Amino acid sequence: MVDKRVLGLAFISLILATLFILTIARENVEQPIEIFQNEYGLTDFKFAMVARENFENVQIRFSIMWEKTLEYNQKMDPEKEYDNSSQAEDVLDNNLKLGWLRNETSLLGVGPEVFDLNVVLGGSSTRMLINDYSGIIDSLSGREAILGSPLIYGGMIDENGQEYNLEGVSCFFVNPADNILSLRISHNDDEQNYLPGNLIYEGYDRIPLSEAPQGGILDYSNVKRDDRFNMFLTVDQRNTPDGFGMVVGADKKNFKFIQMIRIYLDGELYGEPIINIV
């Protein structure tokens, strides 16, 4: 005769195992996309993801930001000082160029996308507040209007009260015609390889970089479940904006630049922007 306690334990184990399997299955089903590669450095970037559902539209937007040291005449209050009680809003509010952009767009009844994030800066959790006007300018004036224009602004205050003014553009990398060495984009088995025009030869299966998607924006329609997306990028830093790649201030935490990646599924931002601090 089988001990009832043994049968009871076996039954409970079966229930727990089933619940575990159902939980894992549900977690997998509830994720509309899966990011399986996000590598970044000074010269190489690799990003890859797969759709887990059908979508009418998937858009992947790449942006680059850097620390911008504001001159005296670029500040709303040139005498303003910061400490560890200051907020990221204080940094943004003191940016004269951003103030002008806020005023101009408010007259049209539009505003930026705002991202309030926590990032790891120099080993410490730091709040990053971003105002991004590239999307709204793109929709109002077209893709050409955002090319090369600093329409992304960010602010940070670290735990020591040091402020960081961020400025950025919607792009795979700054000044792409001068700095991108190679760009490979693929959707499933459809792959495009882009190179600078002077490296394109007759009969060579490559596309001039000038024909690459503008503004670091990849748009896909009628996306099906299990569709795959990849972006591989190699860059140099031969022609960059003033101050790019350096943080000025002895007590500040150093970084070269920041890559931001956003994914929009049928027009809605998926999760939070991916922030890669290089």
pLDDT digits (tens, 9 = 90+) for 42-81: 999 999 999 999 999 999 999 999 999 999 999 999 999 9
Nearest CA among 58, 78, 59 for reference residue 69: 78
**Cα–Cα distance measured from residue 55 to residue 57, given in angstroms and rounded to the nearest whole number:** 5
Rounded to whole angstroms, how far apart are CA atoms 42 and 236?
A: 8
b/e for 167-199, b at 16 or more Cβ within 10 A? bbbbbbbbbbeebbbbbbbeeeeeeeebbbeee
Q: What's the start-to-end Cα distance of the chain, in Å?
A: 67
* Phi-psi region at 226: left, alpha or beta (left = phi > 0; alpha = psi -120 to 50): left
Cβ 134 vs Cβ 215: under 8 Å:
yes
Which pairs from 96-102 meet CB under 8 Å and 24+ separation? 96/70, 97/150, 97/153, 98/131, 98/153, 101/133, 101/151, 101/153, 102/131
Predicted structure pTM score: 0.88
What is the tens place of the pLDDT at every residue in 128-184? 999 999 999 999 999 999 999 999 999 999 999 999 999 999 999 999 999 999 999
Average pLDDT over residues 208-233: 98
Give the pLDDT band of residue 26 (cuts 50, 70, 90).
Answer: very low
**Region of poorest pLDDT, from 5-14, 31-40, 260-269:** 5-14
Q: Identity (one letter) of the amino acid at 268?
A: E
* Beta strands 124-132 and 152-157, pairing class: antiparallel
Quick: pLDDT tens for 248-276.
998 999 999 999 999 999 999 999 999 99
Q: Which helix (H) or strand (E) holds 64?
A: strand 55-67
Residue closest to 261 by CA, chosen among 68, 102, 35, 43: 35
Contacts of 243 (CB under 8 A, 6+ apart): 66, 67, 68, 69
89 touches 253 (CB < 8 A): no
Q: What is the H or E stretch that residue 4 is in?
A: helix 4-30
157 close to 148: Cβ distance less than 8 angstroms: no
Residue-wise pLDDT tens digits, 159-173: 999 999 999 999 999
